[in-house]
Structure 1
Amino acid sequence: MENGEGPTEQTTREDMAPDSAEQSDEMHWTLHVDGSAGQTGRGAGVVLHGPEGFMLEYALRLDFKASNNEAEYEAFLAGLSLAMELGAGKLKVYSDSQLVVNQVNGIYEAKGPRMKRYLQKVKEKLQRMREVEILQVPRDMNNQVDALSKIASEETHDFGTILTEILPHPSIDEHSKDTCNGQRTPVRKR
């Protein structure tokens, strides 16, 4: 804003998003993703930063068996869906998963049918974006999404104001729909 004034209250992500896709294409958006799988549960965390201070935190509880790498891919897919929904054209994606980053960048080969389907689905989404850079970062530079993924994996956690959903099936399954299609079940605890 030219005069330095900004909105005093922002209640929804739509209120905070840029006015047009053209405006958002001019600036890089950043996406931090992380997945977590353990004995207590599985979760994914996403933090999306856009123009003019826009930030969205998103936690996704995975209500199905998944490896840590599959949880990483679920975070990646959820983050890409949100970025696309909000009109991000230029995107920098940060993940601490060496495997996922190198598979998506074509350095490593995906092995196993599930990992191949996750990789294929990510690449399909990436083709719809104008410009994407995928970078691996050290774990300590991904603390915010790491915390979200761990919180999402806990069934009894109260998320407060964080946008949270439960994903009942893997995103690569035929009956699963993208977040953009509004088919996931939101969890709103207050």
Structure 2
Amino acid sequence: MENDRGPTEETAREDKRPGSTEQSGEIHWTLHVDGSAGKTGRGAGVVLHGPEGFTLEYPLRLNFKASNNEAEYEALLAGLSLAAELSAGKLKVYSDSQLVVNQVNGAYEAKGPRMKRYLQKVKEELQRMGEVEILQVPRDMNNRADALSKMASEETHDFGTVLTEILSHPSIDEKQSCVFPFTKQWNSVST
């Protein structure tokens, strides 16, 4: 699914005008995902750009033990699920996780039972979608998804009016994860 040219700064920037057309004239959706795991908590960030300027930003707080790579997979699963529910056509996914991108694209082997289950879940999600290209980008081209993942990982963060999902269990332990539009329990804190 990966092309040899790799993403350019123009094609990978999160602040790029969404819904741009490529040479074929088809509208692409773009998805930026990032995961974060540290001493203060774990989180995932998703930024989906669609046609006509549509943008959805989505932070997820992970209330379970997860490595950084597992948080990266949670972000990817949430983003793919969201894009599928919104019937995104051609989708370009940008992640700064070398490991996750290369496992999904088949260049790296997933090791360990949890990583294998995450990879399998992503492949199942990709089966229900149209054309998807997953590319690795430098961290500085994934700033907004990174900020959302870090914000979600802070247990004391006040989200204001931002809708935030809190996952109690890994997506690989559930039959279905991140069902949209907004059918799960949502936490919205107003200031």
- TM-score of Structure 1 vs Structure 2, range by shorter chain: 0.7 to 0.9
For the residues of structure 1 that align with 2:137 and 2:161, how far apart are their CA atoms?
27
Structure 1 stretches of at least 4 aligned residues deviating more than 6 Å after TM superposition: none
For the residues of structure 2 that align with 1:184 and 1:136, how far apart are their CA atoms?
30
User: Which deviates the most, 40-49 or 123-132?
Assistant: 123-132
Query: Which residue is 1:178 aligned to?
Result: 177
Q: Is residue 97 of structure 2 the alignment partner of residue 97 of structure 1?
A: yes
User: Which deviates the most, 85-94 or 66-75?
Assistant: 85-94
Q: CA deviation at 1:185?
A: 2.4
Give the TM-score normalised by structure 1: 0.83
Q: CA deviation at 1:166?
A: 0.2
2:162–2:189 Cα contact (<8 Å) kept: no
**SS of the counterpart of 1:125?**
helix
For the residues of structure 2 that align with 1:43 and 1:127, how far apart are their CA atoms?
25
For the residues of structure 2 that align with 1:146 and 1:158, how far apart are their CA atoms?
17
1:167–1:184 Cα contact (<8 Å) kept: no
Structure 1: where are the runs of 5+ without partners?
A: 1-25
Structure 1 segment 6-155 matched on structure 2, within 5 A: 26-155=26-155
Query: Which residue is 1:16 aligned to?
Result: none
Q: CA deviation at 1:155?
A: 1.1
State percent identity of aligned pairs.
Answer: 81
Give the TM-score normalised by structure 2: 0.83
Structure 2: where are the runs of 5+ without partners?
A: 1-25
For the residues of structure 1 that align with 2:102 and 2:81, how far apart are their CA atoms?
20
**Which one-letter code corresponds to 2:178 in the other structure?**
T
- RMSD over aligned Cα atoms: 1.5
